[in-house]
Amino acid sequence: MRKIIILLLSIVLIISLTACGQDDFEKFVEATKKTDAIKRGQEEIVTVLEFDFNIEGLSDEEIKALNYLKKIKSKFYITFDCESNKIIARSYYNFSGLGFDSEFYMNEGKSFIKVPIISKYIKIDDVTDENSQYEFMSEETCEAIKNKWMEIVKQDDVFTGKRSIMSTPDGEVKVTNYKIRLDEKIIKEFLNYFIEVIYKDEKFKENFEAYLKQVSNEKVKMDFDKIYFNFKKMLDNSSIKEFNYDAFIDIDGYIVKESIEMKLELEKSMERVINSIKFSLQNKRWSIGKKQKFEFPEIKEKDIIPFEEMGKGIPFMIEDIFKNE
């Protein structure tokens, strides 16, 4: 079940939804391409993942661990300049009231993560090479997913909403709201295709297994096939109760705010630990294209620890969640 939660988090954060009457469709696609090409700016990303668990038959320790996962909230504040390979990303995580924060720095190819609590840093290999091993899945898979989505989405799923004024750190901006409201059949068709494609992607499999081994401190033997079939079974035995997507495009053609809401319920006839999952995401962008100010910490050799010691900065409940069952 823990592996399924991790897979859900990964899939939700990977999917990028696009669709729209003909003129709206073209405008939205153009805004998506333009936004993806932003080289400098700032972002705020807030996600909330809420679980309703079936605790019947579980031990007190298992119930205690699940209670921390009832509501997982994360906030990311990102300042970036892709042309000079500089990023500062500050993140905050809250697990049903228990919170911790972390920081990521990249300066001209040298990358570090500040570990919470112990205030030490982990050095990360160069991740700036576009053709490096850090691409999570192949270009072919990304293209197939994008093409499938555009194929199944109907143009009347997206329409132009009201024009309004939105407050940003840059001041008041005029925006146009585009909405997507999709039914369960379309979403399930896409999600089933999505998991089939990534299951066949060897690069995704290799990287995902490596990721799971890292967060579990290599104590858990991974079975990618089992994770795949468990998730597919859960999807087949679930109902998607709502899906809402809103994009706010400014007069310069950038998506300055996005909002996604989705709720999934599992059928009662299925033996399960999860009754329902509710996910929401809000993404705001500003200072687009402007020169950014970066203040990097002075990191000395004594401040750097091996990756294996990262668990020392993780709150006890998160460490327990990823222990070998």
Is position 140 within any domain?
yes
Answer yes or no: do 228 and 154 share one domain: yes
- Domain range for 107 is 38-51+59-132+295-324
Answer yes or no: do 123 and 258 share one domain: no
What letter represents residue 31's amino acid? A
Answer yes or no: do 248 and 149 share one domain: yes
Give the integer Cα–Cα distance in Å for 325 and 322: 8
Answer yes or no: do 126 and 139 share one domain: no
Answer yes or no: do 208 and 112 share one domain: no
Is position 290 within any domain?
no
Per-residue model confidence as pLDDT tens digits over 206-263: 777 766 665 554 444 556 787 788 778 878 888 888 888 899 999 999 999 999 898 8
Give the integer Cα–Cα distance in Å for 192 and 172: 41
Question: What is the domain count for the chain?
Answer: 2
Nearest to 51 by CA among 26, 73, 30: 73
Answer yes or no: do 157 and 267 share one domain: yes
Is position 76 within any domain?
yes
Is position 235 within any domain?
yes
Both tokens of 188, joined, read: 């399930």
Answer yes or no: do 120 and 262 share one domain: no
Above 60 in pLDDT, residue 315?
no
For residue 96, give the 3-state DSSP assignment. Answer: coil
Instruction: Decide which of 160 and 139 is more confident.
Output: 139
Is position 286 within any domain?
no
Answer yes or no: do 146 and 120 share one domain: no
What letter represents residue 108's amino acid? E
Nearest to 45 by CA among 76, 2, 23: 76
User: Do 277 and 49 meet the contact criterion of CB atoms below 8 Å apart?
Assistant: yes
Instruction: Decide which of 43 and 146 is more confident.
Output: 43
Per-residue model confidence as pLDDT tens digits over 113-128: 887 777 788 887 633 3
What letter represents residue 226's amino acid? K
What letter represents residue 175's amino acid? V
Answer yes or no: do 165 and 25 share one domain: yes
Answer yes or no: do 172 and 257 share one domain: yes
Answer yes or no: do 81 and 105 share one domain: yes
Above 50 in pLDDT, residue 321?
no
pTM: 0.74
User: Do 104 and 96 meet the contact criterion of CB atoms below 8 Å apart?
Assistant: no
Alpha helices in the chain, H assignment, sequence order = 2-14, 22-36, 60-67, 139-152, 184-199, 202-215, 224-236, 316-321
Is position 288 within any domain?
no
Residue whose tokens read 């720095």: 105
Report the chain's mean pLDDT, rounded to a whole number. 77
Is position 65 within any domain?
yes
Both tokens of 87, joined, read: 């990023």
Answer yes or no: do 63 and 195 share one domain: no
